[in-house]
Amino acid sequence: MDSEAQRRFAQMLHHRTKSLAPGAPLAPEIITAATYHCPDVDNIAYIYGRASTPTWDVLEAQLAILEDAPCVAFPSGMAAISAALFATLGGGKRLVLPSDGYYVSRLLSQDFLASFGVEVVEIPTLQMEHFDYSGAAVVLIETPSNPGLDVCDIALIAAKVHAAGGVLIADNTTMTPLLQRPLDHGADIVVAADTKAPAGHSDVLFGHVSTRDATLLARLREWRRLSGAVPGSFEAWLVHRGVETLEVRLERMCASAMEIATRLSAHPRVKNTRYPGLSQDPSHVTAKRQMSGFGFLIGFELEDRARAEAFLTACPYIAQATSFGSTHSSAERRARWGDAVPEGFIRLSVGIEPRDVLWAAIEAALDQT
């Protein structure tokens, strides 16, 4: 984590401290009102819960410090991605997105945006740097991509997309703003599923969008108000609480992931270990330049589907679950969702278990499968 991210994190922990009245609670309040006292409509911050809610504002202020940009909260990562796409696209416009990225973004584009006349183009993350973006209104990237962990150069792609007159959206879910700040590399909009590491406890769905462009920001807020894709206050409060420990969790998770990836890559049963922190990884050079940590996701292959399933069943400290970024380690065979990966490919999300205990369990499970 770079010193800028550390400074932002400390500032974030105290973002409410100075404005509190004596006797005010240190923890934010959960305000669930649908409607507010409104004797006249001028100069009132809160009128109706779909337009604005105090508990969202607290969370948005917190996340805005980490992003170094205003933030709009949404009830899930996909609600945030939908907002970014609907706010920027329209009939006859072209969207370019990764063929190896989060599959739900692809399904949304194919099943809904395409039927509104959006031209949907899918290309692999590794072709993003070389693609001709002429005619593209919106480009969505995901780096590292999920689940393959390929990396693309955000600054280079931003320059090409802008030269073609397009808008660049970066899905930063796998990194969080503490490990990578796409807006600093030229992306126009960052989207993220806070369901993952930011909330961090597998107990809430959430998402956010950040941008430094005032016109886009207003449109994203308007999309939320009109579409009604609004988060609940309790969920916003849970995310605010989770984010307060994000830096310590990430530190443990990234350090463990580096060590476990190194050991996996040397294990005779394991093939094609992918982790951007490994010096031999094809993503390493670009990752080192634009990320300030290599994350907590590892990809690797066992011989076949049966071996992969036996491993996942045998390891007591890996939850067999979809999703990632929680306190507990979790993993799954991504081919079960139809991702274009080998049958024995496993995506492992390293949690906060003490590292040597976790590795001992992984090694024992590998040895018996």
DSSP state of 80: H
- Write down the least CB distance from residue 241 to ligand PLP, Å: 17
Contact between 205 and ligand PLP by CB under 6 A: the answer reads: yes
DSSP state of 35: B
Per-residue binding string, ligand PLP, 151-190, x by CB under 6 A, is: --------------------x-xx----------------
Contact between 76 and ligand PLP by CB under 6 A: the answer reads: yes
Question: Which of these ranges, 30-38, 60-68, 70-78, 269-277, lies near ligand PLP under the rule CB under 6 A?
Answer: 70-78
Distances (CA, A) of 208 to 45, 50, 60, 170, 276: 21, 16, 8, 12, 25
Residue recorded with tokens 């976790």: 358
Contact between 59 and ligand PLP by CB under 6 A: the answer reads: no
- Write down the least CB distance from residue 271 to ligand PLP, Å: 24
By beta-carbon proximity to ligand PLP, the closer residue of 81 and 217 is 81
Q: Is 345 helix (H, G, I), strand (E, B) or coil?
A: strand
Residues in the chain: 369
What is the 3-class SS of 253-278, one letter each residue? Answer: HHHHHHHHHHHHHCCCCCEEEECCCC
Contact between 299 and ligand PLP by CB under 6 A: the answer reads: no
Question: Nearest CA to 240 among 65, 67, 58?
Answer: 58
Strand arrangement, sheet containing 330-333: 271-274, 297-301, 345-349, 330-333, 319-320
First to last CA, the chain: 36
Task: Count the site residues for ligand PLP by CB under 6 A.
Answer: 15
Per CB under 6 A, the list member of 67, 100, 142, 332 interacting with ligand PLP is 142
DSSP state of 331: E
Which residues, including other chains, have CB under 8 Å from residue 304's CB and lie 6 or more apart? 343, 344
Contact between 311 and ligand PLP by CB under 6 A: the answer reads: no
Contact between 329 and ligand PLP by CB under 6 A: the answer reads: no
Per CB under 6 A, the list member of 28, 49, 70, 77 interacting with ligand PLP is 77
By beta-carbon proximity to ligand PLP, the closer residue of 196 and 249 is 196
By beta-carbon proximity to ligand PLP, the closer residue of 105 and 286 is 105
Contact between 193 and ligand PLP by CB under 6 A: the answer reads: yes
By beta-carbon proximity to ligand PLP, the closer residue of 291 and 365 is 291
Question: Which of these ranges, 191-199, 270-278, 335-343, 345-353, lies near ligand PLP under the rule CB under 6 A?
Answer: 191-199
Per CB under 6 A, the list member of 146, 210, 290, 326 interacting with ligand PLP is 146
Burial degree of 117 (CB within 10 A; 0-12, 13-18, 19+): exposed
Q: What is the dihedral of CA 120, 122, 128, 131, to 10 degrees?
A: -70
Per CB under 6 A, the list member of 195, 233, 290, 329 interacting with ligand PLP is 195
Contact between 78 and ligand PLP by CB under 6 A: the answer reads: yes
Q: Which residues bind ligand PLP (CB under 6 A)?
A: 76-78, 81, 102, 142, 146, 171, 173-174, 193, 195-196, 205, 207
